[in-house]
Chains A and B, each alone.
Chain A
């Protein structure tokens, strides 16, 4: 207790230090005066009395130290002292400090920014209680298995089969009924956008369709009202209720509690708002992205009926589209649940689908569901890892810089260290002093880096999402990120400050203190510093080559011929809800929009497509050329798009043979199609396809006649080569086209036309919002955004790396020259030409750079193989890129060592020999 009290008092005393010093002085004064008077009273003369009193008191200094030791914590005191000294030293050499802190800030800032992105994309979990208990349901089947009709995501497996998360609704119902092993089995579906009309304003909102036990299974509690319940998910139409997101509540209801009970129109159907989800709830699909409206499955046939003669997907046995998730029961392992639910799956499939004798049934796989399905991962995991590696290299470069700078300074401060050692400082004390300096530097660098990362926190999410979508994730800087930045700072300070600090303590006191630092011309090898610079050059080489590869990839992609014209095209989409325009009722509306847009002043040409080009989506359908039989499984297929009459003309796709669609191809006339050259060559080789027919359409097959052949054009991705594609007129689609993208060709600024275009839409239907306004070029750029990010970031890193390597080389050569002034002086005195001295220095630095370059190229040849999948149009070991990089680095190295070399040549022999 006593000890604790003394400790606390000492802490307080750190602050009131000065008053204690005053107090001791006063007390000492008083004591001496009293003792002196006493002495004088016993007969001593005044001087004698004073001296005697002082002697009796004791050595003031020692006692003052004891007093002082009583009042403070020596450790903190000396650390503060070190800190103050470190600050003074750093302020005295601002250039050094600026370079060190600056390069660290850039390195740590880049790493923090990318780590933030990585953490959000890869690690963020669903915002529900105990997400680790959630399991996402997947199934696998061999190639061309039973399940052929899917809506959702599926992937190819390495063994040739496929894996998917989409189940059919009847299968889900049966599995849920048979479930005994999991605590809860529920279903959901990110349904896409629906038109939501609130108080007369119609806008598009992302929706998620959920089962009655979704809220119970996830454990989500709405912040207001209630969630979707079992009673809402019974009979079709029995639950016309929705819950909305916190964001929608803020944006469109002003956070008013009256939102509960309000009626809104979803796809023109009245629904009641019954609950508000908690903020930060992102649905079950992923931890990024925010569905705004949640509705029960029971409302699907009414609110979002399927555009065919069977509007209900709930009874549809062949379409697999529903996502399933379960929460494990404590005590029951995941494997057990998987096995028993697999049995249920098999039974359900047998009950709902036509299973032949040797068909293989799909197999259930339960995977971690704490991040939902996390569809963004597939695209982002590898690039993020590569980005983190690049940022890590930059940080390493910055740290190498720091180490070199500290080493150089340690060399310069040798005399100071010898004085300290001579005065009695322990080696540990000096080490602590040097470490404090390097830690201070690294903390300053870390703090600036964190600030930098905060300033640019929005760029990465914005880079990762389309310009017209909300950012991919919120750029919150959270505690793990602070911790990360702090850890990196401390680590760099310790690791890269330790060697120079250690070197400082190993100083030979006697020889350093002499007036002439060296009695003989010792050639300081300086291997440590040179090795570090060689490593820096190697790292820069790696980064420069990487940047070259990514930039050239982007250039190659930009140069790829698309097969259609993409400039000066404004795009926007409209979404006709099936509830108001069932089936083919949408066709007249589209036709009227088509005509109206064409007549808007300023519009040169317009066209309509169901799926916009280079958007990442494509429609695909079976294709059975005439004369071939339709098989049960494994039929040929092709890509298809439903387009308007002016599609080919507006997009500049040439018609090579035959004709375009005309009004004579009426809705009731025989169906026609235009095929591209690849399709013609693949399915009708060596023949004129005009006039030939083929059968298409999965569930309701129909025959189509080919009336024209067009040029090949890229469809859904720039990187994907052209595949066999056929185009059909949208007005001949029996079930009607309900999502369409309009392309407006104009010489004016497209955005200037928007008001008139919006008016045109409103004249036809006031409840149709205009969605996703962008240009075709922006659409393409969005498709290439990953390549663009990499090109931009890696070039930035490359430039940074070159700058750091430049500074590093300059530093080491300047240091080397400064140390060798004696030697150079002797050489010059003995008759060497200044030119020869300069060449000597340049040759040394060139050897150094060459060593680094060779190491860098070797590592690059090894590592670039890993990013092969991200490149396009060039090989990972592209010789042109590598040789350009090598030349660039050699040039930079030469430039960096030019000034030290010139300084070496300008050394005056007499001066050099005289001083040291």
Chain B
């Protein structure tokens, strides 16, 4: 898969899933994790994460509070809220659903062609 920009919606999905898996995490941690999982295939300006985090917080999907980071400095930790979990579940469903439909089209083309 070529490196490319990703949309905000999918980025939000990744952030929520990351928090779901890792538990409370600070901004840098989330960015590193996303890098790791996507296998450095995505070019992502890490800074753009922060407006997104703020947006999710305003929507009520995540909550934040100050806490000590690994090197005993202050960092802002984000965690998934109940509403956020619900949102994650529904977004995953949508994603799978969309993927199913697209998959059907792809396999269909392959059949008729052959």
Contacts and interface: CB of A to CB of B under 8 A. Distances in A.
Most A CB atoms within 10 A — which of B26, B58, B69, B73?
Answer: B58
Contacts of A63: 45, 47-48, 50-51
A870 interface: no
B54 A5 contact: no
Contacts of A34: 28, 69
A631 interface: no
B46 A70 contact: no
Contacts of B73: 30, 33
SS class of chain B's interface: helix, strand, loop or mixed?
helix
Nearest to A53: B46
Given A23-B76, A35-B28, A58 B58 contact: no
A9 B58 contact: yes
A498 B78 CA distance: 50
Contact of B59 (A5, A59, A66): A5
B24 to A, nearest CB: 15
Contacts of A31: 27-28, 31, 46-47, 50
B74 interface: yes
B55 interface: yes
Interface string B78-92: 000000000000000
B23 interface: no
A872 B50 CA distance: 81
Contacts of B71: 37
A67 B45 contact: no
A170 B39 CA distance: 107
A58 B55 contact: no
A67 B60 CA distance: 17
Interface in B4-44: 26-28, 31-32
B75 interface: yes
A27 B50 contact: yes
Interface in A23-76: 23-24, 26-28, 30-31, 33-35, 37-38, 56-60, 63, 66-67, 69-71
SS class of chain A's interface: helix, strand, loop or mixed?
helix
Most A CB atoms within 10 A — which of B32, B47, B76?
Answer: B47
A27 B27 contact: yes
B46 A35 contact: yes
Nearest to A60: B47
A57 B47 contact: yes
B86 to A, nearest CB: 12
A9 B27 CA distance: 21
A63 B46 CA distance: 10
Contact of A30 (B59, B60, B74): B74
A744 to B, nearest CB: 83
A70 B47 contact: no
A58 B47 contact: yes
A6 interface: yes
A31 to B, nearest CB: 5
A23 B65 CA distance: 11
A58 B48 contact: yes
B3 to A, nearest CB: 14
Contacts of B58: 5-6, 9-10, 70
Most B CB atoms within 10 A — which of A31, A37, A67?
Answer: A31
Nearest to A63: B47
B45 A27 contact: no
A524 interface: no
Interface string A1-15: 010011001100000
Nearest to B53: A27
B55 A6 contact: yes
Contacts of A70: 51, 54-55, 58
B50 A24 contact: yes
Contacts of A57: 45-47
Contacts of A30: 26-28, 69, 73-76
Contacts of B27: 27, 30-31
Nearest to A67: B51
Contacts of B28: 30-31, 34-35
Contacts of B31: 31
Contacts of A58: 45-48
Contacts of A35: 28, 46
Contacts of B32: 38
A185 B54 CA distance: 71
Nearest to B73: A30
A50 B69 CA distance: 20
B46 A56 contact: yes
Contacts of A26: 74, 76
> Which A-B residue pairs are the 7 nearest by beta carbons?
A58-B45, A58-B47, A63-B47, A66-B51, A57-B47, A34-B28, A9-B58
Given A27-B27, A27-B50, 7 more contacts: A2-B59, A10-B58, A27-B75, A30-B27, A30-B74, A58-B48, A63-B51
Interface of B: 26-28, 31-32, 45-48, 50-51, 54-55, 58-60, 69, 71, 73-76
20 contacts: A2-B59, A5-B59, A6-B58, A24-B50, A26-B74, A27-B50, A27-B75, A30-B26, A30-B27, A30-B74, A30-B76, A31-B50, A37-B71, A56-B46, A57-B45, A59-B45, A63-B45, A66-B48, A69-B51, A70-B55
